A and B are shown apart, each in its own frame.
Chain A
Amino acid sequence: MIRVCELSKHYADGTAALRDVDLVIDQGEMVFLRGPSGAGKTTLFEMILGIEPPSSGAVEVAGQRVFPGVHPRWVREIRRRTGVIFQDFRLFEGRTVRENVELGLRVLGIAGQKMRTRTDHRLENVGLLDRAEAPVGSLSWGERQRVGVARALAREPDIILADEPTGNLDEEMSERVLDLLYEANQGGATVVVAIHAPHVLKSTRRRVVTLRDGRVADDSAARDGKGS
């Protein structure tokens, strides 16, 4: 589903965010991406979404090149098929919780009753249905994060890119969000989760890829002798 080939990213200020990263994530797979702060996790997501162009290397999603030789239409198509939980949430400030989730559906052409039902369902999932009409500006960081989770999941995407989706949540809510991601994965979505939480990483039987200084330092799938 996601194929990254010798991917490098050097920012203008000389920072090497990614160096020769090779990574293949199959359709329907769920992968945890771990690594210290600044390891390049967010940068990798940005390349997959066509937000930032790589300095060299190639990115392919669903069999289509994102880089190099990117076609804006295809980038848009990937973004439409993806549910992204941004590390910085990227909520629509000045709008209500409900509007934030609904807008994520509207851009896909989903409106009316279908939009409202899905929104209610996902807000219920993350425990925010009773805050639906509150402006996101009035929410705590954890609540904002959950709006981001609800917005991504409501789109019922083929691919989920979750960048620290539990970073601001208590243990119980973290579990709940992770369960939602597992559930989406069981429904067929390819899920990539950038995460720090040691207790999650220790107990999971899923593939864990470790980035360090922009390189793949460890890949549990390679150790187990499956995948790449």
Chain B
Amino acid sequence: MTVGDLGFFLREALAGLKIHRVANFISIICIGLALLSLGLVAGTWANLQHVADTLRQDAEIVVYLDDDVSLQEAEQLSRRLLDHQGVSRTRVVCPDETLLRVESLIGSDIDILSVLEGHNPFAASIEVGVDAGVAAEVVSFSGNLAGVDYIRDNEEVLAPLLRLTSLIQWAGLVVILAVALVTTALVAHIVRLGMSARQQEMETLRLLGASEGFVCAPFVFEGALLGAAGALFAAFGVAAAGGRVYQLIRTGLPYLPLAAGTPLLGYLALLVLGVGLTAGTLGSLVALRSA
């Protein structure tokens, strides 16, 4: 088989696909939609994973202090926590700052202090940055300190997020498998149709001494082309939908740490193309095997 043969097989495959033009076009759209859903699931998974990773990296513990703890005492506690192994930073948040944060969360049109009749109900707290590995240890250490009211650990937020991520990961695997199977089956069916239309021609080629490789190669190309065409469609879909979703999240939920768009969409396009091409080729081989 030579390079010239490859060009010939490609032309043959294209000519073969033109026989059932409309049906094949619809099939390509179907493959494209299946691959598109795969790309979107994978993109969602990648972003959740990224959010989880980001949260895990600067795992933070917030130690809320009793009402009667003074700022000096709070600073002392803060220094003791900073001495603990695995603690990277600590910061005392005074009651006024907490109040300001709550105000900005609620919105500026309500004067919260007047509602509270000039009394700030919040106590001081300490934000503690820790290495993810020692978070539990620091939590129990802080719990034993005098003047500590309660401790909020980011693990509480992280745990359900990680559960969701792993769930989506599994769902993603199922989707990949399903999409690959559907694509393979669809391509196998189309290629078999094409083969039955050219049964006589294949037989004549064999009579002229063509190798099985020569007889079958155009059909392998046909399947690969179907998969690739669907994947191309899907890749554009992923890029368009991905770009739109990113834009929505950036404006609507700006604090959500998203995975960097440009490389991610590139990876997704590659994933979609890879699955499409592989499943398409596999479909052809299935068709040739079962012929």
Binding site for B on A (CB under 8 A): 49, 51, 76-82, 84, 86, 90-93, 103-104, 106-109, 111-112
Contact of A111 among B8, B201, B209, B211 (CB under 8 A): B8
**Are A90's CB and B204's CB within 8 A?**
yes
Contact of A109 among B2, B204, B205, B208 (CB under 8 A): B2
Q: Max chain A CB contacts within 10 Å: which of B4, B210, B211?
A: B210
**Are B205's CB and A76's CB within 8 A?**
no
Closest chain A residue to B19 by CB distance?
A94
Q: Max chain B CB contacts within 10 Å: which of A80, A104, A107?
A: A107
Contacts of A111 in B (CB 8 A): 2, 4-5, 8
A92-B201, A106-B8 given as contacts; is B2 within 8 A of A79 (CB)?
Answer: no
Instruction: Kindly state whether residue B115 has any CB partner on chain A within 8 Å.
Output: no
Nearest 3 pairs of A and B residues by beta carbon: A80-B209, A79-B209, A107-B210
Cα distance A104–B205 in the bound complex, in angstroms: 8
Contacts of B205 in A (CB 8 A): 103, 107
**Are A77's CB and B4's CB within 8 A?**
no
Closest chain B residue to A73 by CB distance?
B211
**Are A104's CB and B4's CB within 8 A?**
no
Instruction: Kindly state whether residue B146 has any CB partner on chain A within 8 Å.
Output: no
Cα distance A84–B209 in the bound complex, in angstroms: 11
Cα distance A49–B204 in the bound complex, in angstroms: 12
Cα distance A111–B9 in the bound complex, in angstroms: 13
Binding site for A on B (CB under 8 A): 2, 4-5, 8, 200-201, 204-211, 214
A92-B201, A107-B214 given as contacts; is B207 within 8 A of A112 (CB)?
Answer: no
Cα distance A76–B201 in the bound complex, in angstroms: 16
Contacts of A91 in B (CB 8 A): 204
Contacts of A79 in B (CB 8 A): 206-209
Cα distance A80–B208 in the bound complex, in angstroms: 6
Cα distance A225–B251 in the bound complex, in angstroms: 101
**Are B2's CB and A76's CB within 8 A?**
no
Contacts of A103 in B (CB 8 A): 205, 208
Contacts of B5 in A (CB 8 A): 106, 109, 111
**Are B2's CB and A104's CB within 8 A?**
no
Contacts of B208 in A (CB 8 A): 79-80, 84, 103-104, 107
**Are A90's CB and B207's CB within 8 A?**
yes
Please give the distance in Å from B99's CB to the nearest CB on chain A: 83
Cα distance A109–B201 in the bound complex, in angstroms: 18
Cα distance A213–B205 in the bound complex, in angstroms: 31
Closest chain A residue to B210 by CB distance?
A107
Please give the distance in Å from A160's CB to the nearest CB on chain B: 13
Besides the known contacts A111-B2, A111-B8, 17 further A-B residue pairs in the complex with CB atoms under 8 A apart: A76-B206, A76-B211, A77-B209, A79-B209, A81-B209, A82-B209, A86-B207, A90-B204, A92-B204, A103-B205, A106-B5, A106-B8, A106-B214, A107-B210, A107-B214, A108-B209, A111-B4
Contact of A76 among B200, B204, B209 (CB under 8 A): B209
Please give the distance in Å from B170's CB to the nearest CB on chain A: 47
Cα distance A64–B200 in the bound complex, in angstroms: 28
